[in-house]
């Protein structure tokens, strides 16, 4: 038997260190620091940079990368357990060198970058000396990249970029963008786009505005709305092959999506902890909330959803390690990415409800958790698209029934059974046309 639900003692030791580190060193900074990668912020230099050094000394920096890509390469199961802890603090991923969009960008730079691109962009990105953004989505289109329009035309030995990008997370702190541009408009929809590396100080690149999420002040958000007005970059800033934007995006997003799910497990567990603490603390009508049956149902449902989700995430991680091929685990990744928003929304909503009036205030994190549940149901592809992928993959494993009726149609199976056992049934005087029960699967 090889099934196991245990964590290596050495890894558990690391996880225990990370848990303490997140609670004691990182969480207090959440009240003062919004962009932990903003190296121009003196507070970040003084308070965040030393923490990053501790993480590096512990061998836990950029754990999402394998050794061939410059990371420690612990594999996805260990990463899942680590990400559960990092998911409880919005600052933690960045302090562990594993924050989006840098993490995904480092993956495609490592896999598709030239030696020169790796030296100029990947090495300083991994060291935390440069920041990056990923600019794919446009104001008119996101979920269907075939319809993206921003173009890059080769003029001599330079790409000339024209168009707009929207929701480029972290663009305001980025030293360079990895961007999606239509380079070959006459090719098929899946082959007409390429990825380019664009330094953020390139003339012709401007911010239309910094879009904020619903809990951020207007104009002060982290989602870059960018305009490229004839911005020029050298021809060799092409990342990967020309026309291969879809291939690079799949590589980038496959890992990113499963990491979102891993971190969501941690956040859901945090919501459940808060729900239960309140349920055993708050009294109404002479007893604690935890004794009310409807509250018990909320706790039970939340635990069930969390544990199912966590097991699916861990199994997905295990399959990635086993198969070493993101294409082979497309269905699993789509499943956990589709499941994450719903589980978080359900559990955070119940935790909020159990906290009563306090639950809807800005003194508790539930509204932020709910907003986050919507964010993870939209970013990196909407839930609907992942469900479509999942359904296609599952349905694709089946063949049409040969005849008019399904292969498990009871009359045909009954006739076959009667034919097979006719002699025995006859001997015992049993009428084969009248079996005792036929409604089993
Ligand atoms: C917080 C956040 C960070 C982001 N960061 C980045 C980033 O760094 N870089 C970047 O390039 N983009 C980023 N995005 C953009 C994200 O990738 C897009 O929002 C996403 O792909 C959806 O595109 P859209 O917003 O244009 O929605 P649309 O494409 O307009 O879709 C709108 C809605 O239509 C429905 N829908 C869409 N397609 C289908 C379908 N096939 N079947 C059924 N229903 C469907 C879904 O409900 C979807 O939410 C970010 C988004 C968020 C919210």
Q: What is the DSSP letter of 291?
A: G
Nearest 10 degrees: Cα torsion 169, 172, 174, 176: 90
Topology match between the domains 132-239 and 246-395: no
The response to whether residue 212 sits with its C-beta less than 6 Å from ligand 1 reads no
Rounded CA gap, 363 and 38, in Å? 26
CATH class (in words) of the domain with range 246-395: mainly alpha
Q: Which two tokens stand for residue 19?
A: 């848990």
Rounded CA gap, 146 and 196, in Å? 17
Of 265, 348, 355, residue with least CA distance to 80: 265
Question: Which pLDDT value is given to residue 408?
Answer: 96
Nearest 10 degrees: Cα torsion 298, 304, 305, 309: 160
Q: Locate the ligand 1 atom nearest the alpha carbon of residue 144 and give its number.
A: 29
The response to whether residue 391 sits with its C-beta less than 6 Å from ligand 1 reads no
Of 336, 189, 184, residue with least CA distance to 263: 336
The response to whether residue 143 sits with its C-beta less than 6 Å from ligand 1 reads yes
Of 276, 342, 331, 353, residue with least CA distance to 309: 342
Q: Which two tokens stand for residue 306?
A: 């969390």
| Structure-token match 């598709």, residue found | 112
The response to whether residue 375 sits with its C-beta less than 6 Å from ligand 1 reads yes
**CATH number of 132-239, picked from 3.30.70.2740, 3.40.50.970, 2.40.110.10, 3.40.720.10:** 2.40.110.10
114 φ, ψ to 5°?
-75, 170
Question: Which pLDDT value is given to residue 256?
Answer: 85
Domain ranges of the chain: 9-113, 132-239, 246-395, 409-441
Cis peptide before 75, with omega less than 30 degrees from 0? no
What separation in Å is there between the alpha carbon of 94 and the centre of ligand 1? Answer: 23
Helix or strand holding residue 410 (H, E): helix 410-427
What separation in Å is there between the alpha carbon of 234 and the centre of ligand 1? Answer: 30
Answering whether pTM is above 0.85, one says yes
Q: Which two tokens stand for residue 416?
A: 């076959």
Helix or strand holding residue 223 (H, E): strand 223-234
Question: Which pLDDT value is given to residue 204?
Answer: 98
Give 111's strand partners: none
Where are any strands of DSSP class E within 345-440? Answer: none
The response to whether residue 371 sits with its C-beta less than 6 Å from ligand 1 reads no
Coil, strand or helix at 25: helix
Rounded CA gap, 94 and 65, in Å? 14
Q: Locate the ligand 1 atom nearest the alpha carbon of residue 374 and give its number.
A: 53
| Crossing angle between the packed helical segments 366-378 and 330-354, to the nearest 10 degrees | 160
Rounded CA gap, 98 and 256, in Å? 10
Q: What is the pLDDT along the chain (441 residues), one digit of tens a residue?
A: 778 899 999 999 999 999 999 999 999 999 999 889 888 899 999 999 999 999 999 999 989 888 877 778 899 999 999 999 999 999 999 999 999 888 889 989 999 999 999 999 999 998 888 999 999 999 999 999 999 999 999 999 999 999 999 999 999 999 999 999 999 999 999 999 999 999 999 999 999 999 999 989 888 899 999 999 999 999 999 999 999 999 999 888 777 899 999 999 999 999 999 999 999 999 999 999 999 999 999 999 999 999 999 999 999 999 999 998 888 999 999 999 999 999 999 999 999 999 999 999 999 999 999 999 999 999 999 999 999 999 999 999 999 999 999 999 999 999 999 999 999 999 999 987 776 665 555
What separation in Å is there between the alpha carbon of 381 and the centre of ligand 1? Answer: 5
What separation in Å is there between the alpha carbon of 144 and the centre of ligand 1? Answer: 8
Coil, strand or helix at 154: strand
Among 105, 136, 137, the mutation site with the greatest number of ligand 1 atoms within 8 A of its Cβ is: 137
Secondary-structure breakdown of the chain: helix, strand, coil percentages, each rounded to the nearest 5: 55, 15, 30
Helix or strand holding residue 19 (H, E): helix 9-21
Is the separation of the CB atoms in 74 and 7 below 8 Å? no
**What residues contact residue 329 under an 8 Å CB cut-off, 6+ apart?**
254, 316, 319, 320, 323
159 φ, ψ to 5°?
-90, 135
> Domain 9-113 belongs to what architecture?
Orthogonal Bundle (1.10)
Rounded CA gap, 245 and 154, in Å? 16
Query: Which residue is closest in CA terms to ligand 1's atom 43?
Result: 384
The response to whether residue 101 sits with its C-beta less than 6 Å from ligand 1 reads yes
| Structure-token match 């840098």, residue found | 102
The CA–CA distances, whole Å, from 277 to 33, 34, 299 equal: 28, 28, 11
Q: Locate the ligand 1 atom nearest the alpha carbon of residue 165 and give its number.
A: 11
The response to whether residue 378 sits with its C-beta less than 6 Å from ligand 1 reads yes
The response to whether residue 255 sits with its C-beta less than 6 Å from ligand 1 reads no
């Amino acid at each position: 038997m090889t099934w196991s639900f245990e964590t290596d003692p050495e890894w558990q030791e690391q996880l225990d260190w990370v848990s303490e580190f997140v609670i004691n060193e990182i969480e207090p900074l959440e009240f003062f620091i919004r962009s932990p990668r903003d190296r121009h912020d003196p507070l970040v230099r003084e308070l965040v940079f030393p923490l990053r050094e501790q993480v590096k000394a512990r061998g836990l920096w950029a754990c999402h990368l394998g050794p061939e890509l410059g990371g420690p390469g612990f594999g996805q199961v260990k990463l899942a357990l680590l990400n559960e802890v990092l998911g409880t603090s919005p600052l933690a991923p960045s302090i562990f060198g594993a924050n989006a969009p840098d993490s995904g960008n480092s993956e495609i730079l490592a896999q598709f970058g030239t030696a020169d691109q790796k030296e100029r962009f990947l090495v300083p990105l991994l060291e935390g000396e440069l920041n990056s953004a990923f600019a794919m989505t446009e104001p008119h289109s996101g979920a269907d990249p075939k319809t993206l329009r921003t173009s890059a035309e080769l003029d001599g030995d330079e790409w000339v970029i024209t168009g707009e990008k929207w929701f480029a997370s972290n663009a305001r702190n980025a030293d360079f963008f990895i961007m999606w541009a239509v380079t070959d408009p006459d090719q098929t929809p899946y082959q007409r786009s390429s990825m380019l590396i664009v330094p953020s100080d390139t003339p012709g690149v401007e911010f239309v505005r910094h879009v904020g999420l619903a809990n951020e002040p207007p104009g002060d958000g982290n989602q870059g709305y960018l305009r490229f007005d004839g911005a020029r970059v050298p021809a060799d800033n092409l990342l990967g092959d020309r026309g291969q934007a879809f291939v690079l995006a799949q590589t980038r997003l496959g890992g990113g999506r499963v990491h979102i799910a891993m971190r969501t497990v941690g956040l859901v567990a945090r919501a459940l902890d808060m729900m239960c603490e309140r349920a055993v603390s708050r009294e109404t009508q002479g007893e604690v909330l935890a004794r009310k049956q409807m509250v018990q149902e909320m706790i039970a449902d939340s635990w069930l959803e969390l544990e199912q989700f966590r097991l699916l995430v861990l199994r997905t991680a295990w399959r990635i390690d086993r198969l070493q091929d993101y294409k082979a685990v497309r269905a699993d990744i789509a499943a956990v990415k589709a499941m994450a928003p719903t589980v978080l929304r359900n559990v955070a909503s119940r935790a909020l409800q159990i906290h009563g009036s306090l639950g809807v205030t800005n003194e508790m994190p539930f509204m932020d958790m709910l907003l986050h549940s919507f964010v993870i149901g939209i970013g990196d592809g909407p839930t609907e698209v992942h469900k479509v992928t999942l359904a296609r993959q599952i349905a694709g494993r089946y063949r049409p029934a040969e005849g008019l009726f399904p292969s498990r149609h009871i009359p045909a199976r009954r006739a076959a059974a009667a034919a097979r056992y006719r002699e025995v049934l006859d001997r015992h005087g049993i009428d084969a046309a009248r079996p005792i029960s036929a409604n089993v699967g």
